[in-house]
Amino acid sequence: MHVLRAATTSLSPRAVARASIAAVHRRPAVGQRWYSDEKAPASEKGQGQAEAGAGAAAEDGPCAAVERKLKAKEEEAVDLTGRLRYLQADFLNLQRNAAREKEQTRDFAVSRFAGDLLETVDVLALALKSSPAAHLQELYTGVEITHRLLLQTLFKYQIKPFDPTGDKFDPNRHEALYQAPIPGKEPGTVIDCQKTGYMIKDRVLRAAQVGVVQES
């Protein structure tokens, strides 16, 4: 021990430090354990996959909810569109029905007035069939003008006269006053119009009074 102390005292401080470091490196390791790092990448990979799966699940959850809401809204929009189209069709039908009823009401009012007026037209037409005397020429002209003005007024409301002479007898448009056998004429043919018929648009305002060929 004294020899070691003497030896160390004879050495320089730098030499003593080097000798101490070398002694430490030569000293055996006590209680030191080494762990392998080979499994660390696998565990890290598993942890990464778990984190990725959790992240994907977290992302899929909101997306799925949004998709469900979007689908529900689309179905609701389709349903509302169908209802809107139904209401539009119903409204258009209501408009058409209202317009038709209004037109029918107006035609009915015109028909009553025109029906009463037709008697006057008939009288004037009958007066015009006779040849006037010279001193009644002015009166005849006045009757002719009045008759023409009345017909023009009727035309305004789509009321038009018709003479079915030569047509096939139609009970919906004609009123048979008499029947007569006429050689060379087809039975059921109108041969004479005693009173002119009138139509208001596509309806019969007054049936024409006619004579019809009788079957032999």
What is the third-level CATH fold of 159-216? Nucleotide Exchange Factor Grpe; Chain A, domain 2 (2.30.22)
pLDDT of residue 18: 59
pLDDT (mean) for 209-215: 93
- 161 pairs with which residues across the strands? 198
Torsion of CA 165, 170, 171, 175, to 10 degrees: 0
Q: What is the CA radius of gyration of the chain?
A: 59
Average pLDDT, rounded, for the chain: 79
Please say whether the beta carbons of 208 and 200 come within 8 A. no
For residue 149, which of 115, 121, 127 has the smallest C-alpha distance?
121
pLDDT (mean) for 118-129: 88
Please say whether the beta carbons of 140 and 172 come within 8 A. no
For residue 160, which of 151, 169, 150 has the smallest C-alpha distance?
151
User: Tens digits of per-residue pLDDT, 49-95?
Assistant: 655 555 555 555 678 888 888 888 888 888 899 899 999 999 999 99
pLDDT of residue 1: 46
- 192 pairs with which residues across the strands? 211
Instruction: Tell me the pLDDT band of 129, cut-offs 50, 70 and 90.
Output: confident
pLDDT of residue 43: 55
pLDDT (mean) for 106-115: 82
Q: What's phi and psi for 65, nearest 5 deg?
A: -65, -40
Q: Sort strands 174-180 and 208-213 into parallel, antiparallel or unpaired.
A: parallel
Long-range pairs, 49-57, Cβ under 8 A, ≥24:
none
Distance CA 51, CA 49 (A): 5
% pLDDT > 70, the chain: 72
Please say whether the beta carbons of 209 and 175 come within 8 A. yes
Please indicate whether residue 90 or residue 130 has the higher confidence score (pLDDT): 90
Indicate if the pLDDT at residue 7 is higher than 50. no
